[in-house]
Amino acid sequence: MSARIDEIISRLTTRQKIGQLLILGWQGETDEDNVTVSEHARLLVEDFEVGGVVLLGRNIGAPEQTARTMNELQERSKIPVFIIADQEGGMVARLRAPAYVVFPSNMALGATGDPEYAYKAARATAEQLLATGINFDFAPCVDVNNNPLNPIIGTRSYGDNPEIVSRFAQAAIRGFHDGGVPTSVKHFPGHGDTSVDSHLALPVVDFPMERLEAMELVPFLAAIEAGVASIMTTHIIFPALDPELPATMSPRILTGLLREKMGWQGLIVTDCLAMDGVAVKWGTAKAALAALKAGADCPLICHTLSRQQEAHALISAAVESGELPMERVDQSVRRVLELKERFGLLEPAKLADPAKTASVAGAPEYRALALEIARKAVTVIKNERGILPARVEPGSKVLVVSTHRALPDLTEAIRRIHPNTDSLAVDTSTPAIEPGSDVRLIIAATCPNEPWTAGTDQEGQARMVKQLNSLGLPLVVLAIREPYDIRRFPEVETYLCSFGYREESLQAAAEVILGVTQPTGQLPVRLG
C-alpha cells in the first residue's frame, strides 16, 4: 500500500470520498436543467469534487480551446481528475476529424490480421488525448461481435473469434498504456451477442455459463492478463449469472464472478447510468447505489445535473445509515487513487500545452498511419465476375449510388482516381433508378442501422441494390461499415467492405475498386 494514498484518504471528508467515486459529464451549451456549461463543469470539480469527468462530442472543440478547458478543470480540482473520453476509433470518436486523427474501427484493425496495428493506433490515440488534456480512455471495446444483428457493437469489435479479439485487445492496451493513458475495456461480461441496444432497452443474453466462459469472458481475462487499468460493466441481464439484475447492478457478476472468480481487484467503472437499459426501471440514482453495493467503484452518469445530484444524495444517505459501509467506500477510493498514482496523475496535475495541441492532434504521421491501416483492412468478399480491379476507360462514366450521408465523400474519393464520376443520392422508396446511358460502372455503398439515430431502411437498401443489379451493368457493392449486408442480396457478385466511412477508409476502398492498390484484408467475422 502507498503511504501517499493512505495520507490522502485520511484527510478526505465523506463527501470528498463519495466525489472521488463519481465520473460525471456535462451537457453542451445548457443541459435540460438549464445549467450552463461553465457552471455545470465548475460544480463537478468544485462542489462534487469528482474523481473523473467524462467528455462527449458536445464537450470537445478545437484542439487549443479544448486543452485550455481541460487545464482549467484540473486547476480547479483539489485532487487531479480523470478526464475521460470514449476514443475507440471508427464510429465512436469524441475527438473528431479533421482536427484530430480518428483511426479506423476495431473491426478494420481485425481485418488487417496484424495486432501491431492495434498497438500503433492505440498509442497514437493516447498521444493525441494527452496533448488535448484528456488522460483516460474508455477503450478498447473487447466484445465478441458474433451476432450480425447487433445494433450497437458491430465494427467496435475486433471480430467474432474470442482468441483473435483477445490478441488485438492486449495489443491495444499496451499501446494506450505505453502512450501514458489508462484504459477501460468494455462491456463486461460481453455485449457482442445482443440484438437490443442497451442505450434504449435492457437486453438479455441467455447462454449457459459454459458458453460465456468459452466466448464472452475470454477477452476480459486476456485484458486482465495484459494489466488493463479498468473494466466497464454493461446493462445486460445474463440469466446464467443473475436472472434478475443487469451486470452493472449484480453482486453475483461484479463481486462473485469478476472479483472473486476472475481475480480482478482493479477499478470497475459502470456504463452510463442515464441509459434506458437501467434508468427506466430502476432510476439513475438507485442504479448508482446498487452498482457500488454490487462491487463497482465508479458510477458513470453522463448527464444531467439533477440526476447527478440525486445520485450523490442517495449514496451519501446510504453511507450515513451504514447501508453502504465506509470500509467499502474506502476500498473504491483507494482503487481510484492507486490508478491515478500508477499513471502519474496525482498531484501536481499534468497540464496540456495548448500551443502544441493542434500539431500533435493532427500530426501527419498519424494521418499516414490511419490510411495505412485502412488500406490493409479493405476486404474483397466476392469477386465472382472478376470485375475488381475495375478497369474503366477515362472517357467512361462511373456512378456512385447510396442512401447514406457518406455518399459525397465516397464520390470524391472515386473522383480523385477517375474524374469522370457522378453520384446519385437515392431514397429507399425510389421506384426506379436511371443511371444514364453513358455509365459503365456502378458503385453502390450500403450501411446498416446507425447507432443512436433513427437508423437506415435496410430493406430499402436491399431493394436499391437488387434494382441496380438488375440493370445488367458492372456493379460493385461496398459495405461502408459491417460486412453483413450481403446476406440481404446474396445474388450480388462483387462485394467488398471498408469497415468504416471516414475519409481514410473511403479512400482505401476507392483505391481497391479502381486497382490503385491490392486488397489484403481478411474477413474478421463469419457471414453465414
416 by Cβ neighbours in 10 Å (0-12 / 13-18 / 19+) ranks as middle
Locate the domains of the chain by residue range: 20-361, 378-513
Instruction: Using pLDDT thresholds of 50, 70 and 90, give the confidence band for residue 372.
Output: very high
All three cell numbers of 515, joined, read: 486497382
Choice among 199, 276, 404, 457 that is catalytic: 199
Whether the per-residue pLDDT at 198 is higher than 80: the answer is: no
Tell me, what DSSP letter sits at residue 525? S
For residue 303, give the nearest of 27, 22, 34, 20 by alpha carbon. 27
Cα separation, 164 vs 154, in Å, equals: 15
Confidence bin at 32 (pLDDT 50/70/90): very low
Neighbours of 205 (CB within 10 A): 23
Mean pLDDT of 397-413: 95
Output the pLDDT for position 60.
86
Question: Is 303 noted as a catalytic residue in this protein?
Answer: no
* Residue at 132: amino acid letter: T
Please report which confidence band the pLDDT of residue 454 belongs to, taking 50, 70 and 90 as the band edges: very low
For residue 436, pLDDT beyond 90: no
Cβ-proximal residues to 124 (8 Å cutoff; 6+ apart), any chain: 101, 103, 175, 179, 363, 365, 366, 369
Q: What's domain 378-513's superfamily in CATH?
A: Glycoside hydrolase family 3 C-terminal domain (3.40.50.1700)
DSSP notation for 322-384 = TSS-HHHHHHHHHHHHHHHHHTT-SSSPP---HHHHHHHHT-HHHHHHHHHHHHHH-EEEEET
- pLDDT tens for 298-346 read 999 998 899 999 999 999 999 999 999 999 999 999 999 999 999 999 9
Give percent of the chain above pLDDT 90: 81
How confident is residue 453, by pLDDT bands cut at 50, 70 and 90?
very low
Query: Looking at residues 454-477, what average pLDDT do you find?
Result: 85
Q: Are 250 and 319 in contact (CB under 8 A)?
A: no
pLDDT of residue 33: 45
What number is the average pLDDT over the span 393-406? 93
20-361 and 378-513 share one fold: no
CA dist., res. 109 & res. 471, Å (int) = 35
Cβ–Cβ under 8 Å, residues 79 and 49? yes
Active site residue 271: yes
**Residue partners of 156: CB distance under 8 A and separation at least 6:** 88, 90, 91, 92, 105, 106, 107, 141, 143, 145
Tens-digit pLDDT profile for residues 93-141: 999 999 999 999 999 999 999 999 999 999 999 999 999 999 999 999 9
Asked if residue 379 has pLDDT above 50, the reply is yes
| Mean pLDDT of all residues in 229-253 | 97
Lowest mean pLDDT among 90-104, 121-135, 408-422, 425-439: 425-439
Quick one: cell of 230? 479498468
Q: What is the dihedral of CA 90, 93, 95, 100, to 10 degrees?
A: 0
Residue 478 has pLDDT above 90, yes or no: yes
Question: Which residues are within 8 A (CB) of 214 and not within 5 positions of it... i.e. 6 or more apart?
Answer: 162
Which residue intervals of 196-283 are DSSP H helices? Answer: 209-214, 218-225, 251, 276-282
Q: Which entry of 271, 297, 409, 485 is annotated as an active-site residue?
A: 271
Question: Residues 113, 116, 118, CA angle at the centre, nearest 5°?
Answer: 85
The residue-averaged pLDDT of 170-197 equals 94
What is the per-residue pLDDT for 115?
98
Q: Judge contact between 515 and 391, C-beta under 8 A.
A: yes
C-alpha cell at 436: 444514364
Q: Is the pLDDT of residue 452 over 50?
A: no
**Does a cis peptide bond (omega within 30 degrees of 0) precede residue 189?**
yes
| Residue 399 confidence (pLDDT) | 97
Across the range 232-261, mean pLDDT stands at: 97
Q: How sure is the predictor about 277, in pLDDT bands with cuts at 50, 70 and 90?
A: confident
pLDDT: is 463 or 370 the higher one? 370
> 70-81, pLDDT tens digit by residue?
999 999 999 999
Residues of the chain with pLDDT > 70: what percent? 95
| Nearest by Cα to 417 from 434, 438, 400, 437 | 400
CATH architecture of the region 20-361: Alpha-Beta Barrel (3.20)
Q: What is the chain's mean pLDDT, rounded?
A: 93
What average pLDDT score do residues 396-413 get? Answer: 95
